[in-house]
A and B are shown apart, each in its own frame.
Chain A
Amino acid sequence: MPLLTDCRVLDLGIITAGAATGALLADMGADVIKVESPTYRDPFRVLGSDSKDQVPPLFRATNRNKRAVSIDLKRQDGKDIFLRLVRNSDVVIENFRRGVLQDLGIAFDVLRAANPHIILASISSQGETGPDANQISYGSTLEALSGLAWVTGYEKGAPTISGRDVNYPDQIVAMFAAGAIASALRAVRNGEKAVHLELSQRDLAAFMIGDRYAAISTGRPAHRLGNAEPPYALQDCFLSADEKWLAVTLESGDVARLRAALGGHADQPLREKLKEKIAGGPAGTMISFLRDQGISAAPVEAGREILDDRGTSWSHAMLDFAGSAVKGFPLQVEEDPLSIRRPAPTIGQDTAEILARIGGYGATEIARFFADGTIEGPRAESP
């Protein structure tokens, strides 16, 4: 039985941080219902959109395995519908700008009144409180504010961020938030009442360099080290003769063995020797040479090269589903394998069914909501 069987999630999450959290819960077996509105879409429905593809790649990647409803939460009828769904759900996820949930009239107290055992997971940039809580920010903004950018960068160079195409804090928070929601779910299943989880990406980014904070608070300054990393004797990238970057980590126990294998002048610094050696041959040959010495070495790969290793050194982080690439899973469960069961939904794809089966609405009411624009999606076929 999948891990999160019998867990229903109303997923107001958008873009990456919120939507990927819901996706991970869905992968682990939860019934995740993506909630959009006739007046508001997940921006990933537009970014990278292709007119031939109704579901754009970015949206498709992080919303597979979900069902979808579209409800206008700004209308009283829409709010009533949502709260009726809350009554029959375990979790609500949101990563709107702070204050939006209150403005919509579905803040934690309202959800708790509807369902005394509900878990609200608020995934925010900078938390619910504090002077910067309402400050607009994206993942790399938070790298700067958290100190992560300060400790990232070339030696003696400027601080560095992961940038728009990684947006690192957005990615890690999804794994962390999925775990926190599961922890809260266990507590609720053990008798805890409704829980509001506050998950700040800025706080998480700081937590992810907690060891560096421990070091500086004892008076040791935090320097940018490039690719160097204590306690390793040497760690960096070197360019091969065929202009491929190779990543090498040299432990102290490797030094004598590598020196012997490299030969040459004993006085020459090991870094220079290694640089010369790698520059003298193609990447594949140099990787083999280093691995034969028991040294950690790998080519710096990108895009399609990574896909070439699928099956050998990884298998489920990205998957093909119905002829398209989608985001897979960071982990797997032997006894109950995670799987992609359904493609990302179209807007309000399951509205009618969800209102009927979870909301308990009758066909006449549902037809009225469709007619007045409170909900949208394909209408149920007449029996």
Chain B
Amino acid sequence: MSAASSYTGLIVVEAISDEAADALVLAAGMAGRILADLGATVIRFAGRDRGFDPALDFFLGAGKEHAEGTDFGSAFIPENADVMIADATLVQQIGRAACPPLCALLSMFGGAHFGTGPAASAFTISALGGLLAMVGEPDREPLKLGGHQEAFSLGLSVYSGLAAALCAKDRGRRTIRASLLETIIWLNWKALPLDDHTATLPSRAGRAGEWQILRCQDGYVALVYQEPEWPRLKQALSDPRLETDKFATRQSRLLHSTDLAEVIESCFRQMSRVQIQALAKYHRLPLGPVWSLEEALEDPHNLARDLFGPLKNAPSGVKVPRLPIGWTGGGARHSRQTEENGNAIAD
């Protein structure tokens, strides 16, 4: 047995009703995609055309069987299905009893609004969950993370719940309830008051942030460090301006964070990203050169790890990151994606 065969024989139905928000299609798609890579037979009901980029369909649809039609009567669920990933409204319509024993119900909202609530998108849920308030410049509009992070995170949440249910010793009926807003708040937990309800809570700091993106000679670098790394960062950059009193303690660096960023950026501008990466390795600093996606495809670390591979049912040349589960044991050595079956397999 290997990563690719964890769920061999398991039949999963992935169905989101046409009325449901786009984010639930993407979340269900991500959860189903992981299960498909781990060996499940995933039947994905296409639903209405939502105008998604074809790249989304390539990525989320890989390794699945695709069923056309959107008439979600109870007859559409195969009798031998083990798992259903669906929006809460759809399950309410067809009845829980008509669904497989294990069911993941997806919703934009939790609480009293589970399966209901006002019109919402992943973007507006990110606003309600506070994640939007954490990214970007403080004097500009809040900023979403790139891609479909909110919806895909809900997909991870659904996967974790289903995976736990699938190894339960008793195989009774189980209903997982997962909402986008609960997931976002769970991810953004540090932004909520944990202790002192009068304390200043974090928000987007932009140029004043301890961690931020700075320019370098040929692009951008993420300035990331914790207190233990500060002496090594100073040593690596060898700039006397970093030795001044205003940067002597974390508190004073926070007070002068914009000045600090300017000094460090002026050092970075003398170096390329590759040079900064080498410097970071030598001094054990967590600096991160910002790779474009094209550069990441050719990055030596990613190549050495065989991170990117082709997808089944996608045009020739399409490459995506494989499912990031390395699985050693029982004769299996590593999991990776293959063109032949689109699944994670042992090699």
Chain B associates with chain A: yes
Known: A150-B290, A187-B6, A249-B124. Is A330-B186 also a contact (CB below 8 A)?
A: yes
Q: Name A329's closest neighbour in chain B (CB-CB).
A: B186
Kindly identify which residue among A135, A159, A172, A294 contacts B290, using a CB–CB cutoff of 8 Å.
Answer: A159
Instruction: Judge if B267 is at the interface, Cβ distance under 8 Å.
Output: no
Known: A5-B169, A176-B159. Is A247-B142 also a contact (CB below 8 A)?
A: yes
| Contact call A235/B329, Cβ cutoff below 8 A | no
Instruction: Judge if A152 is at the interface, Cβ distance under 8 Å.
Output: yes
CB contacts (< 8 Å) of B242 on chain A: these are: none
Instruction: Judge if B45 is at the interface, Cβ distance under 8 Å.
Output: no
| Contact call B1/A302, Cβ cutoff below 8 A | no
B121, B148, B159: most-surrounded residue (chain A CB, <10 A): B121
| Contact call B281/A165, Cβ cutoff below 8 A | no
Contact with A along B301-318 (1 / 0, CB 8 A): 110110110010011011
| Contact call B293/A216, Cβ cutoff below 8 A | yes
| Contact call B185/A303, Cβ cutoff below 8 A | no
CB contacts (< 8 Å) of B202 on chain A: these are: 165
- Distance in angstroms from A228 CB to nearest chain B CB is 9
Task: Give complex CA distance A165, B302 in Å.
Answer: 27
Could you say which interface size class chain B belongs to? 35 or more
Kindly identify which residue among A149, A298, A311 contacts B120, using a CB–CB cutoff of 8 Å.
Answer: A298
CB contacts (< 8 Å) of A239 on chain B: these are: 141
Instruction: Judge if A222 is at the interface, Cβ distance under 8 Å.
Output: yes
CB contacts (< 8 Å) of B286 on chain A: these are: 135-138, 141
Q: Name A61's closest neighbour in chain B (CB-CB).
A: B194
Task: Give complex CA distance A339, B320 in Å.
Answer: 37
| Contact call A313/B300, Cβ cutoff below 8 A | no
Q: Name B145's closest neighbour in chain A (CB-CB).
A: A152
Contact with A along B100-135 (1 / 0, CB 8 A): 000000000111110001111101111111111111
| Contact call A222/B292, Cβ cutoff below 8 A | yes
Contact with B along A147-165 (1 / 0, CB 8 A): 1111111100011111111
CB contacts (< 8 Å) of B220 on chain A: these are: 144, 149, 158-159
Task: Give complex CA distance A198, B145 in Å.
Answer: 26
Task: Give complex CA distance A172, B151 in Å.
Answer: 12
CB contacts (< 8 Å) of A126 on chain B: these are: 301
Q: Name B141's closest neighbour in chain A (CB-CB).
A: A237
A199-207, A264-272, A357-365: which one contacts chain B? A199-207
Since A152-B143, A208-B152 are in contact, a sample of 14 more A-B pairs with Cβ atoms closer than 8 Å, ordered by chain A residue number, is: A60-B194, A175-B153, A179-B34, A192-B1, A206-B324, A207-B324, A208-B149, A210-B59, A211-B59, A212-B55, A316-B110, A331-B160, A332-B176, A333-B177
Task: Give complex CA distance A143, B212 in Å.
Answer: 11
Residues of chain A from 182 to 222 with CB closer than 8 A to chain B in the complex:
182-187, 189-200, 202-204, 206-218, 220, 222
Task: Give complex CA distance A184, B163 in Å.
Answer: 9
Contact with A along B1-27 (1 / 0, CB 8 A): 101011100000000000001000000
